[in-house]
A and B are shown apart, each in its own frame.
Chain A
Amino acid sequence: MRTSWWLGYLSLLLAISWVYLGLGHYQFEWWPSSPIQQQLWLDIRLPRLTLAWLNGFALASAGAILQVILRNPLAEPGLTGVAGGAAVATVLVLYLGWLGALSWWLPLVGMLGGALSLLVLLVIAGRKASGNELILAGVAVSAVAGAMLAVILNMAANPYAFQELSLWMMGSVSNRGWPQVWLIGPCIVLGGLICWRQRGFINAHIFDQYTLLSLGFAYARSMWLILIAVTSFVAGSVVSAGIIGFVGLIAPHLVRLLGVHKPSTLVWRSAFCGGLLVVVVDGLVKWLPTPIELHLGVIAAVIGAPLLIVLLQRAGRA
């Protein structure tokens, strides 16, 4: 079961990556024939592919972990306001010119913002919140983050700064390269290591809160570590690609549809599925013949938002 899953995943990823690398704005080719093409494949498309996959990986892990620890299938970095918080903090330091767009401190700043909004969410909704309470609290936190972003944008020094910031917030992996991969990479390593160490704690969330408290975990410490992991994933994604919504929601649901319910397995498979998902969506971005290339975050929202409605309806019926 395990080997077949990995084999299936790897071959699918390989096939999709191949098509992705061959996909240009005007043509498609199976193999880089000229040196220019070779350079295009390796220096432009490969980092973009890597960045897309890593973003999906990070967002889907964060989404799956949030769904598990909040015991709520609707939790997601975007809907819970974590991404918004990370974006506010990042935009703020960029706007104030305290840090450059490639500074290694940027993910830390994003993490602080994300952690802050996650804490506010936990205070408003509580840990045993129902789906509705969580979504309401998430809407509130996202609204605050959105308002703060609007204020910062409104005060932008010139139209170029305004456009740059607002486009950045839509979420995209185009016009980026290996430096952005280096921004998100360490965040994923940190988050992944913490999740690996805490997998027992994550798994124990199949039980209700009282049972969990009696299972011998250092609850507060583990919860803080998980919080750091989630915000690390989200901040890595936000500082490298802006806000990409819905991946964190959809990927775990797809994995559950495939019959995976054990939390730690769910988190890992969601992560890998999320990576694939974002690569496919970014492939669509490149393939769609629009006059201006659409942003990845926009396409993700166009596909993801209707799916959220379907999920809400299913949750309502169950």
Chain B
Amino acid sequence: MILQVKQLVIAERLHITDWSIPQAQFIGVIGTNGAGKSTLLSAVAGLVPVAANVVRLNNRDLTQLSDQQRRQLIRYLPQFASVNAAVSVQQVLQQGLVNLHLTVSVAEAIERVSREFDLVPLLSRPITQLSGGEQRRVQVARACLGDAELLVFDEPGSGLDIGHQLELMDHLKARSQTGQLVLAALHDLALAAQYCDQLLLLHQGRVVAFGPPNEVLTTENLAETFAVTATWLCTDDGVALLAQRLHKS
């Protein structure tokens, strides 16, 4: 088991009895606002104190890892990541390498992610002068620096245009195929269905369903959690979702 979560209970926000992921893949965490997605992700990333053996990563108890060890294994991107100083993008990425043991040089690590996320023309600009979407891309790139076993991204695509969103999903997918477990909270169900290997549907802090997209995004599940009826359009080129609000009877 690469990730194992057992009896994770966080006061009135989250209650997960048993959830495990056998191998590296791209997992989407979906659910309504307040369903517990962010809480789950921050617990898995080790930001919320949990009891011993509740979260295990590659058969290691998360609470037994030192701050430094956790840093090497896990990359976390919070929902509202921000930089509050007018430093250049280059400096942000350099700072993002802090405490990391790299197998390549600093310059190479930075160059790799800036190519990957289309940041080369922005490197010398102060991050505070970039648009919201551009800043988000810098944050995603920051969280992708170096090698990790687990990427925990909270709504990585928020604020990105459609082109960059697809590009981001492609990169995350590629990373999951090279042995990294990617755990991302997503709001775009069509993108989630198109890219993720498995989806975890949360509702009111509990797991409603976990499995491949077609088993999770059923008419009943969508009606029960999101209160919508959905029509799916699936072609080889992508997935679209036509949703309508269910009128409460």
- Binding between chains A and B: yes
Q: Which chain A residues have a beta carbon within 8 Å of chain B's beta carbons? A: 71, 200, 203-204, 206-208, 210-211, 213-219, 261-263
Assembled-state Cα–Cα distance A262/B88 (Å)? 9
Minimum C-beta distance from A71 to chain B (A):
5
Q: Are A262 and B71 in contact (CB under 8 A)?
A: no
Task: Identify which of A206, A213, A215, A219 contacts B85 (C-beta below 8 A).
Answer: A206
Minimum C-beta distance from A203 to chain B (A):
6
Total interface residues in chain B, CB < 8 Å:
32
Assembled-state Cα–Cα distance A208/B72 (Å)? 19
Q: Is B91 an interface residue (CB 8 A)?
A: yes
Q: Is B178 an interface residue (CB 8 A)?
A: no
Assembled-state Cα–Cα distance A218/B69 (Å)? 11
Q: Is B56 an interface residue (CB 8 A)?
A: no
Assembled-state Cα–Cα distance A208/B79 (Å)? 11
Q: Are B42 and A261 in contact (CB under 8 A)?
A: no
Q: Which residues of B contact A203 (CB under 8 A)?
A: 95, 98
When C-beta atoms are compared, the residue in chain A nearest to B74 turns out to be A214
Q: Is B78 an interface residue (CB 8 A)?
A: yes
Q: Which residues of A contact B139 (CB under 8 A)?
A: 211
Assembled-state Cα–Cα distance A263/B94 (Å)? 13
Cβ proximity bits B40-77 to A, threshold 8 Å, 1 near / 0 not: 00100111000000000000000000011011101111
Q: Are A207 and B47 in contact (CB under 8 A)?
A: no
Q: Is B235 an interface residue (CB 8 A)?
A: no
Task: Identify which of B46, B72, B85, B126 contacts A263 (C-beta below 8 A).
Answer: B85
Q: Are B71 and A214 in contact (CB under 8 A)?
A: yes
Q: Are B67 and A210 in contact (CB under 8 A)?
A: no
A-B contact pairs, 14 of them (CB 8 A): A200-B98, A206-B92, A206-B95, A207-B96, A208-B78, A208-B83, A214-B74, A214-B76, A215-B99, A216-B68, A218-B67, A219-B67, A261-B86, A262-B91
When C-beta atoms are compared, the residue in chain A nearest to B42 turns out to be A210
Q: Are B82 and A208 in contact (CB under 8 A)?
A: yes
Using known A-B contacts A214-B71, A216-B71, A218-B67, determine if residue A207 contacts B99 with beta carbons closer than 8 Å: no
Q: Are A214 and B98 in contact (CB under 8 A)?
A: no
Minimum C-beta distance from A250 to chain B (A):
18
